[in-house]
Amino acid sequence: MALKKGTEVELTIESTAFKGKGVAKHDGIAVFVPGTAPGDVVNARIIKKKKSFREAKVLEIVTPSPDRIDPKCSHANVCGGCTWQHLPYSEQVKHKEQHVRDHMERIAHLNPDIVRPIIKCENDFYYRNKMEYSFGTKRWLTEEEIQRDEFVDDTAFAAGLHAPGRFDKILNLNECHLQAPISYQILDFVRNHCIQNQIPAFDIYKKEGFMRHLVIRNSHFTDDLMVNLVTFRDEPETVNRLKDELLNEFPQITTIVNNVNDQPNPTAVGRFENILYGPGFIVDRIGNHSFKIHANAFFQTNTQQAENLYAVARDFAELDSGGHLFDLYCGVGTLSLFMADKADKVTGIEIVDVAIENANFNAKENGVENVEFVLGDMKDTFNDEFLKENGHPDCVITDPPRSGMHPDVVEQLCNLDVDRLVYVSCNPSTMARDLKELKEFYNVEAVQPVDMFPQTYHIEAVAKLTRI
């Protein structure tokens, strides 16, 4: 049978691939099917045809996999937040570890045995310290509503998460299990308050309305809880009334802020911010250091597992005898500070100016004096002139974005005569691409997967490299 677009076919899912899609084979052609588990037999429709593979949508699960379980959340099959709730956590981590092994072998051409057993997350639900919910005027219809013969109106005040691939439609959440339960309870309260008081959601097309986002941050090591109301206009009376009702219902809240984003961009970062209650920040800790986390500051989303990730990086860096450490893509300096007590000096480089400001602030707040942070684009800043000004490192840690390192940075690291290199990655496929180049100059001794995001396909990994 030719697998053309629109063809319906029965498939047996054999494995999983990147982004959590199930993989089946049909006449030697790989077919990627989201929402499936190895062992599933499904009826599916081909929705995309490529030269070497196909993509399909499940129409019916004919025979469920022995590993398949009922998702905890009623939205799991349509929400983009969780892609693997239909698999037990023990199976999720097996697939994630195998993905890292596959990337090392197929992309980096390394022996997959260098990949260590994955470090699991202690809590596979309620592990996030931040959730960003959105408001909108169009809700995502359920499959049952889509299949109805009669017209179903999708215009309504919706509060939840964006439907996968849609910037204009909101999945109106009835539950969420990624952050502590109070997070969804606050979302539901704010939604009901807005409906009852006729406070409109922001209309992305008409550029009018009021409520844009609700961002909730909670601390892992303290009881701090922040509510950030992101609105289209500055209306003190409206937000203060909501603030008072929130505090009455949820006395656990320690601070409430109002970010006002009156610009066309869809972000939850306001052009300015009003503190409505409390100090305007929460405090959390990684290792021995505390961090003041403001509404728009970056902080690792899984605090507890971030400690485990950083501990691996510190172990791989082997800084027991001190030395000068470079921290490339240092962000707000959390990893730099975590490493500082093991190093004589830490020099961080970051392109985002606000992140550098936060990094310097965090260092000062924690009394750490042996760190310095440099603002600049990595590919332009990390060069021979930089080395002349800042000295030669004994170890380099690099923690690039999902796209991996710029080729110029990879080349500089290849030419850099440094004993140890530690690569922290949120995307093992791009890390494997970079390791393919770096392995000509370094031994890749170990790769440690760390699961920061249970119920999703995302996986972090740390690689240890030593100079040949």
Q: What are phi and psi of 464, to 5 degrees?
A: -110, 125
Out of 82, 121, 395, 426, pick the active-site residue: 426
Spell out the residues 6+ positions from residue 162 whose beta carbon is closer than 8 angstroms to its own. Answer: 80, 134, 169, 170, 171
Spell out the residues 6+ positions from residue 64 whose beta carbon is closer than 8 angstroms to its own. Answer: 37, 39, 40
Distance of CA 262 to the CA centre of its chain: 26
Spell out the residues 6+ positions from residue 151 whose beta carbon is closer than 8 angstroms to its own. Answer: none
Q: Are strands 130-138 and 22-26 parallel, antiparallel or unpaired?
A: unpaired
Query: Residue 179 — left, alpha, or beta (φ > 0 → left; ψ -120 to 50 → alpha)?
Result: beta
Q: How far apart are the first and last CA of the chain?
A: 52
By the 8 A CB rule, do 140 and 77 touch?
Answer: no
From residue 29, how far is each of 24, 119, 329 by CA, in Å? 8, 34, 40
121 is catalytic: no
Q: Residue 464 has which token pair?
A: 């240890």
Give the residue numbers marked as catalytic.
Answer: 426
